[in-house]
A and B are shown apart, each in its own frame.
Chain A
Amino acid sequence: MRRRARLLAAAAALVATTAWGQPGEGLEIFTRPDKGNCVACHEVPAGSGPAIRATVGPRLDGARLKTWDRARLRALLVDPMIANPDTVMPPYGRHRLLAPQEIERLIDYLHALP
């Protein structure tokens, strides 16, 4: 019985991790060169990510991103060329740079920016 409870608890933890991600996962996706590498083009508020000079894209902060709901941000990350054919932002979803779950974690990170 106790063994079954432990198994259930472990399974629940695994589901929670898969569904909601680990803390910092969004930041990792934002930063990693082989993932989003968003930090190459966008600066974020101090303390929210690496302090790297990046001026290709606009600076990202809470005030800017809270006006974007999840669906709009998701559509932008999947294929920004739909909204702006001239953009230099990579089509993270369309070109499979990021998996759908990774895009969700990135949205979490962006929405949590101060």
Chain B
Amino acid sequence: MRFPDRLFLAGLLATIGLPLQALAGAESVREDIVSRLRERFPAVSPAEFAHGAAAFDPGRRAMAEERTPAPGAAEALEAGRRIWTRKFANGRSLAGCFPNGGRRVAAAYPQYDRRLKRLVSLETAVNQCLKTHGQPLLDAGDPETMGVVLAYLRSLSDGRKVAVRVNTPQAEERFEEGRRLYYTRMGQRNYACASCHLRHAGDYYRGAAIPAPVGAAAQWPHLRDGRAITLQMRIRECLERMGAAPFPAGSDDLAHLEFFLAYLSNGLAIRANAWRPPLVPGDL
């Protein structure tokens, strides 16, 4: 075999081999976490983990069921629908930027965009659309705007199963970055996300059961006091209460964390706008 042919073959093998290796990486991480949780909680199914603290706390579960639909859900959905369908000056709308007006799209987000060379979360996709049409962007940390838009958009995928793909080396790198952040100790209290949510899932922290990482990306936004709290907003709150400077709203760091969590939730049904209780001082 001549040198250029060998080079071609090596390149081909690398191209074929890397995604397979990459897939094995994310999937093996997911399987390991799922199996550890199954070992600790044989009576709790992965689908139940999506209920957060309520998966471990029958009292909390009963409260959540009594509050279904969550107080304020109808108002949040209507506010989100208005922004979603509002016509821009050019006659387009947010709904026009997404296939089927946004129906059944949420399950595949976040996703790696080869052209942009970055992860695109639903927040990013909404703001990309607004930017394209010369509209002011939404604050990814604001429940009144981005929160309600995603409350509406995610509700269009209610019941669909999370199906986030880590199918290229680039996507694998982002998954790995999300995993790294999840396991990194941060802030004055020196916690990593994994310190509580993985090692102590199901334990009680200041009176509340700690949710598991599997399922964390299935049920969001939450409705808390009628406000739509996205997964990224919730992560920022948690970081702040850990004594860490939260990653900026809409940042790549938050998208990486969300990507990691969303992949762990693959196969679990999306449920937007479930009730969650108010945060109390000292809780995370």
Which of B190, B199, B200, B203 is packed against the most chain A CB atoms within 10 Å?
Answer: B190
> What class of interface size applies to chain B in its complex with A?
10 to 19
On chain B, the residues within 8 Å of A90 by CB distance are: 188-191
Interface-located stretch among A8-16, A17-25, A36-44, A102-110? A36-44
What residue of chain B has the Cβ atom nearest to residue A96's Cβ? B188
**Complex-state Cα separation, A37 to B281, whole angstroms:** 10
On chain A, the residues within 8 Å of B204 by CB distance are: 53-56
Q: Are B188 and A97 in contact (CB under 8 A)?
A: yes
What residue of chain A has the Cβ atom nearest to residue B283's Cβ? A40
Q: Are A56 and B281 in contact (CB under 8 A)?
A: no
A88 and B206 in contact, given A33-B281, A37-B282 (Cβ under 8 angstroms): no
**Complex-state Cα separation, A88 to B283, whole angstroms:** 15
On chain B, the residues within 8 Å of A96 by CB distance are: 188
User: Among the listed A53, A81, A88, which residue makes an inter-chain contact with B200, where contact means beta carbons less than 8 Å apart?
Assistant: A88
On chain A, the residues within 8 Å of B196 by CB distance are: 56, 88
| Cβ proximity bits B192-211 to A, threshold 8 Å, 1 near / 0 not | 00011001100111110010
User: Among the listed A33, A37, A52, A97, which residue makes an inter-chain contact with B207, where contact means beta carbons less than 8 Å apart?
Assistant: A52
On chain B, the residues within 8 Å of A37 by CB distance are: 206, 282
A41 and B190 in contact, given A33-B282, A56-B196, A88-B199 (Cβ under 8 angstroms): no
Which of A56, A91, A95, A96 is packed against the most chain B CB atoms within 10 Å?
Answer: A56
A95 and B189 in contact, given A37-B282, A88-B196 (Cβ under 8 angstroms): yes
Main secondary structure of the interface of B (DSSP, over half): loop
Q: Tally A-B pairs: CB < 8 A.
A: 47
What residue of chain A has the Cβ atom nearest to residue B241's Cβ? A33
Q: Are B282 and A40 in contact (CB under 8 A)?
A: yes
On chain A, the residues within 8 Å of B189 by CB distance are: 90, 95, 97
Tell me the smallest distance from the CB of A54 to a CB of chain B, in Å.
6
Q: Are B190 and A56 in contact (CB under 8 A)?
A: no
On chain B, the residues within 8 Å of A41 by CB distance are: 205
A56 and B207 in contact, given A40-B282, A88-B195 (Cβ under 8 angstroms): no
Q: Are B190 and A95 in contact (CB under 8 A)?
A: yes
**Complex-state Cα separation, A53 to B281, whole angstroms:** 15
Q: Are B205 and A91 in contact (CB under 8 A)?
A: no
Q: Are B207 and A53 in contact (CB under 8 A)?
A: yes
On chain A, the residues within 8 Å of B199 by CB distance are: 88
Tell me the smallest distance from the CB of B242 to a CB of chain A, in Å.
9
| Cβ proximity bits B235-259 to A, threshold 8 Å, 1 near / 0 not | 0000000010000000000000000
On chain B, the residues within 8 Å of A40 by CB distance are: 205-206, 282-283
**Complex-state Cα separation, A88 to B188, whole angstroms:** 12
The 3 closest A-B pairs by CB, nearest first: A33-B282, A40-B206, A88-B195
Which B residues lie at the A interface, using CB under 8 A? 188-191, 195-196, 199-200, 203-207, 210, 243, 281-283
Could you name 22 residue pairs across A and B whose Cβ atoms are closer than 8 Å? A33-B281, A33-B282, A37-B206, A37-B282, A40-B205, A40-B282, A52-B206, A53-B207, A54-B204, A54-B205, A54-B207, A56-B203, A56-B204, A88-B191, A88-B195, A88-B199, A88-B200, A90-B191, A95-B188, A96-B188, A97-B188, A97-B189
Which A residues lie at the B interface, using CB under 8 A? 32-33, 37, 39-41, 52-56, 81, 88, 90-91, 95-97
Please give 12 more A-B residue pairs, beta carbons under 8 A apart, in addition to A37-B206, A56-B196, A88-B191: A32-B282, A37-B282, A40-B283, A53-B207, A54-B205, A54-B207, A56-B205, A88-B196, A88-B199, A91-B190, A95-B189, A95-B243
